[in-house]
Amino acid sequence: MHNREIQRRNIGEMRNMIQHTEQTGSEGAVPVRKYEAVIFDLDGTLLNTLEDLTDSVNVALASVGCAARSIEEVRHFVGNGVRRLMERALPGGADDPRFSAAFAAFGRDYAVHCNRKTRAYPGIPELLRALRAAGVRTAVVSNKTESAVRRLCGVYFDGLVEIAVGDVAGRARKPAPDAVLAALDALSLPAARAVYVGDSEVDVETARRAGLPCISVLWGFRDADCLRAAGASQMVRDAEQLRKCLLG
């Protein structure tokens, strides 16, 4: 082999090594996937929906002659779906003779006003884009009605959330694993290749029942003490820390 040919091959190998380093190095890196899919809760995890939920709760309560609830009260009422939210908000709960009217009033108001004050949490759209760029598939599973879940995902995360699953008749709500398993089925992935991300004790239990590891976020509707008491083993303080947990 001539010296020039050897030299050309060595240069080619060096270029390949440089290209590989640029693709896998720390700066401008192509992230390494830890999971093939991430399943997110919606309220308190991706979106801060608390003000709109509180407003609609109070419209419903006013319609049946009840006093308003504070935003902090509603913070502790959410997590198990809108029916349970109104059961907790109404003084007499589900046995209150005004419950059906209040629940219907909430549904009407929230269907129209679910996006007045709602906002994505800081860094969440960027996180979803990074996951998609890395080839990680994304889904949202919520106890919110499925129509509201799809509407809000379309407004805030268009093209960034592949599957949006909400509450529908005939399917058990979280913490039952049914909705998470439906999302995994739609993604054609087993639980072993996915991780669940949420903000509440309901999410910790949902992940456990579905057989997924759980990452709990601290910017949502529950604090660290509540999550720890529920069995949370991994908690993150912001979207950047979550990105590192998901992509390295």
Active-site annotation holds for 203: no
The Cα 133–Cα 16 span in angstroms is 23
The Cα 27–Cα 158 span in angstroms is 28
Q: Which of 41, 43, 55, 109 is catalytic?
A: 41
Q: Which residue has the tokens 């694993």?
A: 177
The Cα 136–Cα 247 span in angstroms is 9
Q: Which amino acid is at 145?
A: T
Sign, CA torsion 166/171/177/179: negative
Q: Which residue has the tokens 């609830």?
A: 69
First to last CA, the chain: 44
**Helix, strand, coil percent values for the chain (each to nearest 5):** 50, 15, 35
Distances (CA, A) of 179 to 169, 172, 183, 206: 12, 7, 6, 9
Sign, CA torsion 81/86/89/91: negative
Query: What three-state secondary structure class fits 171?
Result: coil
- Residues forming the active site: 41
